Amino acid sequence: MIIVLKPKISKKAETEVIQEIRRLGYRPHIMRGVARTVIGAIGDELTHTSLETLANTFPKSVESVLPIQKKYKLVSREAHPANSTVKVGKHVVIGGNKFHVMAGPCSVEGEKQLLTTAVAVAKAGATMLRGGAFKPRTSPYEFQGLGEKGLKLLAKARKETGLPVITELLSENHADLVAEYADILQIGARNAQNFQLLIAAAKTGKPVLLKRGLSMRIQEWLLAGEYVLANENPNLLFCERGIRTFETYTRNTLDLSTIPIIKQEAHSPIVIDPSQGAGRADLVMSMCKGAVAMGCDALLIEVHPNPAEAWSDGAQQLSLNHFATLMQELKPFIAAAGRE
């Protein structure tokens, strides 16, 4: 930690700060600069008491306290310099040279809706099936998902198409149930710092796709991922789905800069969800092209046989035709990005 002292404080005030740093187990190292004196406190920030309280303890002497160490370890490139890959089901490997597309309806609504979609997206080239069985809804009066019945339909669609299945986990109490049916457990944006849920998901051993929270800084997202790795589950996928900003034209602002940043800071694959990111079907095509070009490992796209009748988020789901066209148009960009 770096402790910046206020200018012109007395020798006595300075000594008090230094003694406190020592008392908390750090070794102080003093640098006298032109405008400020700065103290480096040598010691492991992950195992010692934080010094961030010093500005509160000595409000007249301490101007600011700057942490130096990164708080995440296991997700960091420092811990694991090579890219990690995540194996899903028997044949899918995310994070390698092959590019993946996970597609399907926002909510599982019934057998016909799901199977029609699954067959169509498989035909168009999708390599995984998405679909919500438990749905987090802003209002208690909105459709909350089919629950276990939805999970069973997903398993049936997997059997028919061979596509592994990703679905959202909403409750600690459902972790075992969802893990029984799903190939990837999705943690939604609103639960991205529901640490109990992250731990429960990690403990199932299944791959965990962690969406970025609506106002989560990248460091916080990495730390949430750390909860998965620290609970002995190495199968972590980060998924950017748009952050909340002042803009109202789109539902969220898709932050595609997360692709190079996550690649730089962490070793886990990065997935982009342009459907949530825009909240509008008409922007999905362009965003997919950008995400592919910037090097993401997979896309997560909402597709519905009849978006106008969708029980949730109809405004952002692609029709089956629209999805097939998208898959065609992505091809040259996947090739330009050096992926299959």
| Contact set for a copy of itself, span 242-281 (CB under 8 A) | 243-250, 253-257, 259-261, 264, 277-278, 280-281
CB of 4 to a copy of itself, least distance (A): 5
Classify the phi-psi angles of 330: left when phi > 0, otherwise alpha if psi is within -120 to 50, otherwise beta.
alpha
Under the criterion CB under 8 A, does residue 191 sit at the interface with a copy of itself? yes
Under the criterion CB under 8 A, does residue 233 sit at the interface with a copy of itself? no
d(CA 118, CA 128): 9
Asked if residues 49 and 65 have their Cβ atoms less than 8 Å apart, the reply is no
**Residues with Cβ within 8 Å of residue 50, at least 6 apart in sequence:** 1
Number of residues in contact with a copy of itself under rule CB under 8 A: 113
48-87 residues near a copy of itself, rule: CB under 8 A: 49-50, 52-57, 59, 66, 68-69, 71-73, 78
- Quick note: the x/- pattern for a copy of itself over 199-218, rule CB under 8 A, is --------------xxx-xx
d(CA 26, CA 60): 21
Amino acid at 292: V
CB of 160 to a copy of itself, least distance (A): 27
Q: Which two tokens stand for residue 264?
A: 């730089």
The residues with which 76 forms a beta bridge, in sequence order, are 266
109-138 residues near a copy of itself, rule: CB under 8 A: 136-138
Under the criterion CB under 8 A, does residue 141 sit at the interface with a copy of itself? yes
CB of 205 to a copy of itself, least distance (A): 18
The residues with which 238 forms a beta bridge, in sequence order, are 210, 270
Helix (H) or strand (E) holding 157: helix 148-161
25-44 residues near a copy of itself, rule: CB under 8 A: 29, 31-36, 38, 40, 42-44
Considering the complex, state which of residue 77 and residue 91 has its C-beta at the smaller distance from a copy of itself. Answer: 77
Region of 99-107, 124-132, 154-162, 291-299 interacting with a copy of itself (CB under 8 A): 291-299
CB of 219 to a copy of itself, least distance (A): 7
Under the criterion CB under 8 A, does residue 100 sit at the interface with a copy of itself? no
The residues with which 2 forms a beta bridge, in sequence order, are 40, 66
Considering the complex, state which of residue 92 and residue 243 has its C-beta at the smaller distance from a copy of itself. Answer: 243
Nearest in space to 297 (alpha carbons), one of 265, 336, 337, 243? 337
* Of the candidate residues 83, 116, 171, 325, the single one contacting a copy of itself (CB under 8 A): 171
d(CA 80, CA 162): 32
SS (HEC) of 305-318: CCHHHCCCCHHHCE
Considering the complex, state which of residue 166 and residue 281 has its C-beta at the smaller distance from a copy of itself. Answer: 281
Asked if residues 108 and 114 have their Cβ atoms less than 8 Å apart, the reply is yes
* Of the candidate residues 10, 19, 46, 328, the single one contacting a copy of itself (CB under 8 A): 46
